[in-house]
Structure 1
Amino acid sequence: MKNKWTRRDAIKSLGLTLGAFAIPNSTFSFDENKNPILLPNKNLDLKNPITAITCGAGNRGNVYGGYALAFPEQLDIIGVAEPIQVRNERYATKHNIINENRFDTWEDVFKRPKFADAIIITTPDNLHYGPCMKALEMGYDVLLEKPISPSEKECRDILKLAKSTGRIVAVCHVLRYAPYFVKLREIIQSGVLGEVVSIQHLEPIEHIHMSHSYVRGNWHNSKETTPIILAKSCHDLDILRWMINKPCEKIQAFGSLSWFTNKNAPEGSTNRCTDGCTVEANCPYSALEIYYRKRQRNYVFDLPEDESEQAAYVLEQLKTTDYGRCVYKMDNDQPDHYTSNILFEGGITAAFSMEAFTSYDGRRTRIMGSLGDVAGDMSSFVMTDFLTGIKTEWKQESDSHGGGDWRLVTDWIHAVSENNPNLLTSTIDASIESHVMGFMAEKSRETNQVMEVKV
């Protein structure tokens, strides 16, 4: 790779210094569950805010919708479709949505003539296709939660319709907007590492998150929702493709469900943690411990406003919903470990692992180049120069998605206001290839073949 700059000049141009450098902490906002959200790094000067209708008022709908509460001069949520009435009511109250703009289902939204600039689609994975296609047909721009769809054909249908209508579809690959990955991509593309030869990337799901989302939770059954490589890790396939900036040629994957099965159920366990399980007190996946005693991840229960009623409400939920079931006796089928080997154009290789059994979360990245390497953990990284041995450090406080959520929304609003998809890095065009990588990885895992990736 030939560079016009010296490597010292390139390092300086990247906002790094020889030795150590720390980026100052950014200001944070907080979502409805009091989790921090990194604020955008740019200001938009709009004549009028973009108006939007949210289809799906769950966790992600509230994260993106929360942007409108912080920046009402940029985004105005004027409608909501949500079948769970308590969520519908709370979302409507939060955004001052009038009754005629509240709908039970996404289909109801499109029975009316177009009445907003855009649609935010945060419905369950298998309900992305319908509202996205209808929104494009009616002339709406779209913010679409990942994955685009559990079906490769549906992904390609959305791409085709977006191109033919000229509407903007921003896929919520929020890691592309996370400062950590933005800086890693700049480093790779600058040439300061020489020729990038290989990347190792790990997504540690964290064992409780795995049990919550992919054993007990909404994504526990891949056939009814989405294979975990897409549901959880299309982010990671996408970020590898984006950082390397070369087409993926082949992919091979291995993985299985090894632990969360009936054969591993301890003697004395019951179908529910609330049924008098004799080993509950010593189980790291005890629903009573996670949801009731420690009150973790309670947002899934849509808790009553009165705090004095919440404990009894949670206990009742554990007796009646999947969140109270034994993790060894669920009807889950998602792999709890998944490894893929990826070949990119030019012989660049990447090894990606998604692992359930970790005590920590936050991606880990190792980039190996001919002149230097980088090792990072999503909030910081160290770049080492092979010639001088000098280490350069970058670090920044961040949130659970690396700071990309609201930075994505900012760029989407900018793109919609200017009718210019080039202001985004996660358009439908750019996101299709990483989805195809995921579909091919799953086919490889199921058939024990090396799959070609053709977009």
Structure 2
Amino acid sequence: MTPLLQAGTGEAANQVTDRLPVKIAVIGAGERGKVYASFALHNPLLCQVVALAEPVSRRREAFLRRHVDIPAQNVFLDWKEMVKVPKLADAVVICTLDQLHAECVVEFAKLGYHILCEKPMAISPQECAAMTRAVVQANIIFAVCHVLRYSPYNRSLKQLLEAKACGDVINIVHVEPVGWWHFAHSYVRGNWRCEEQATFSLMAKSCHDLDILCHYMGTNHPPRQVHSFGSLSHFRRDKKPAAAGLATRCVDCAFEKDCPYSALKLYLDKSKHDDRGWPASVVCGGGEVEVDMENVHEALKIGPYGRCVYESDNDVCDHQVVNIEFEGGATASFTMVAFSELVCERQTRIHGSRGAIIGDSQTIRYTDFATGKTTVIDPGTETQGINGGGSGHGGGDYGLMATFIEAVAQGNASLLGCSPQQALMSHVLVFAAEEARKKRVVIDVEDYLRSEACID
């Protein structure tokens, strides 16, 4: 095994704080940045936001109205300005666009900041490898926002697997039902609609699903081979209903009332009920203008979120299947699909030699083959000792923040349960799966690592 992929000591010697609250800087005050920063508002004894970099004035101002203790001199329009000044915080939370993650991580690592980086790590395996080298060399605590690992649901499920409740894991079937309107919002009209502008949908939407499969299997059973099928099947011009005619926007479309992907239904109906949060907030420039009926309607006339889903410039898959073989012979299949009633409520079946688990992101049904007994576990969504509920992803958002803050406070990266090298490996698995889909081949994951220069 090459040096980059060898496990570290779990200790981060540089700039460790042994006191609370941990001071954090936030890079990017978009939807995810706001969520992670809100943890500090609910848990001020654990962490405090002391600096911000955000280029959009309305987002920046809204963030500062909530986080009123940030000194004016610690507010930046560009993260590159922040790295020019002496270190302002113990840790930085990076929530920029995906394309900027790699450069941000490398520069902040040089300064000794501990780093929490929104998923995905980066948009190429080479950049992911460069990030891993940077954080390992800097000896800092580094975590990727693979929030699924930190929800009470998945913590409970992982405990069952580690206790060998099912015996040896033989096969896992895992499905992410994205939701018909959510996919249209984010991956047909939204920021992640084009691979060239962002990344492919398996990475953008489901990298933490392949990561959770690796997490379930454990470090002794890394992924060995992968293949994949998928395509953009529906959100294309040739699938446009004839009744829609030449309309390119929902506001001008005769078919709009009968269309399941109507932007008027999705965004205006929420505004009528004074719902100013996501996704309506994104339509209005992600906070650049006030979210109200008038501004939402105007945005649908001129902006990307008002476009017909059959007339957009999207090119990412709207469904994909990934099959994985792990060390030891266990297998897993993953399905990402746009066309579902459920919205991101993962469905999982784990088949073991002594038992089986069925999970729906909320409850876990475990059947013991020896006794025939079925036990139902409801872990809830709140992390013990943490205020503010669990936030999103079944409590994973705040579960992640609590774990990261504790790791920084104690100077103990092992508390995260995922090393930079393991985060790299799960990302490489996603890149390899997409390569397998495009080339219609089975890919050896370690060979892919070497061919893409991810390891020295």
> Given the two structures, how large is their TM-score scaled by the length of structure 1?
0.87
Q: Name the amino acid aligned to 2:320.
A: Y
Between stretches 175-184 and 231-240, larger displacement belongs to 175-184
Q: Name the amino acid aligned to 2:367.
A: T
SS in 2 for 1:254: strand
Number of the residue aligned with 1:8:
none
Number of the residue aligned with 2:178:
205
Number of the residue aligned with 1:18:
none
Number of the residue aligned with 2:11:
none
1:197-219 per-residue CA deviation (whole Å, 9 max, x = no partner) reads 10100000011110000000110
Number of the residue aligned with 2:453:
none
Number of the residue aligned with 2:20:
48
Looking at structure 1, the residues matched to 18 and 63 of structure 2 have their Cα atoms a distance apart, in angstroms, of 25
Kept in 2, the 8 Å contact 1:176–1:426? The answer is: no
List alignment gaps of at least 5 residues for structure 1. Answer: 1-44
Asked if 1:393 corresponds to 2:383, the answer is no
Asked if 1:339 corresponds to 2:312, the answer is no
Matches within 5 A, 1:107-256: 107-245=80-218, 246-256=221-231
Between stretches 264-273 and 61-70, larger displacement belongs to 264-273
Structure 1 stretches of at least 4 aligned residues deviating more than 6 Å after TM superposition:
none
CA positional deviation for 1:304: 8.5
Kept in 2, the 8 Å contact 1:287–1:318? The answer is: yes
Q: Name the amino acid aligned to 1:249.
A: R
CA positional deviation for 1:46: 6.7
Number of the residue aligned with 2:409:
417
1:263 paired residue among 232, 238, 244? 238
Q: Name the amino acid aligned to 2:347.
A: R
CA positional deviation for 1:195: 1.9
SS in 2 for 1:431: helix
CA positional deviation for 1:169: 0.9
Kept in 1, the 8 Å contact 2:207–2:427? The answer is: yes
SS in 1 for 2:238: helix
SS in 1 for 2:242: coil
Number of the residue aligned with 1:85:
57
Q: Name the amino acid aligned to 2:419.
A: T
Kept in 2, the 8 Å contact 1:162–1:169? The answer is: yes
Looking at structure 2, the residues matched to 336 and 266 of structure 1 have their Cα atoms a distance apart, in angstroms, of 18
Number of the residue aligned with 2:454:
none
Looking at structure 2, the residues matched to 254 and 386 of structure 1 have their Cα atoms a distance apart, in angstroms, of 33
Q: Name the amino acid aligned to 1:345.
A: E
Looking at structure 2, the residues matched to 303 and 420 of structure 1 have their Cα atoms a distance apart, in angstroms, of 36
CA positional deviation for 1:161: 1.2
Kept in 2, the 8 Å contact 1:303–1:310? The answer is: no
Matches within 5 A, 1:38-77: 47-77=19-49
Number of the residue aligned with 1:279:
255
1:426 paired residue among 409, 414, 418? 418
TM-aligned CA distance change 1:447 to 1:305, over 3 Å:
closer
Asked if 1:404 corresponds to 2:396, the answer is yes
1:354-394 per-residue CA deviation (whole Å, 9 max, x = no partner) reads 01100112000001111111111010021112222111111
SS in 2 for 1:201: strand
List alignment gaps of at least 5 residues for structure 2. Answer: 1-16, 382-390, 450-456
1:131-178 per-residue CA deviation (whole Å, 9 max, x = no partner) reads 111100111111111110011111111111111110111111111111
Percent same amino acid among aligned pairs? 40
Looking at structure 1, the residues matched to 269 and 342 of structure 2 have their Cα atoms a distance apart, in angstroms, of 21
2:311 paired residue among 321, 324, 329? 329
Number of the residue aligned with 1:94:
66
TM-aligned CA distance change 1:261 to 1:319, over 3 Å:
same
Between stretches 88-97 and 391-400, larger displacement belongs to 391-400
CA positional deviation for 1:417: 1.5
Kept in 2, the 8 Å contact 1:241–1:434? The answer is: yes
Looking at structure 1, the residues matched to 49 and 161 of structure 2 have their Cα atoms a distance apart, in angstroms, of 38
TM-aligned CA distance change 1:248 to 1:215, over 3 Å:
same
Q: Name the amino acid aligned to 1:267.
A: A
Q: Name the amino acid aligned to 1:264.
A: K
CA positional deviation for 1:268: 4.1
Q: Name the amino acid aligned to 2:335.
A: S
Looking at structure 1, the residues matched to 53 and 19 of structure 2 have their Cα atoms a distance apart, in angstroms, of 27
TM-aligned CA distance change 1:304 to 1:142, over 3 Å:
closer
RMSD: 1.7
Looking at structure 1, the residues matched to 71 and 303 of structure 2 have their Cα atoms a distance apart, in angstroms, of 32
Number of the residue aligned with 1:26:
none
Number of the residue aligned with 1:317:
299
Kept in 2, the 8 Å contact 1:46–1:73? The answer is: no
Kept in 2, the 8 Å contact 1:92–1:98? The answer is: no
TM-aligned CA distance change 1:400 to 1:76, over 3 Å:
closer
> Given the two structures, how large is their TM-score scaled by the length of structure 2?
0.87
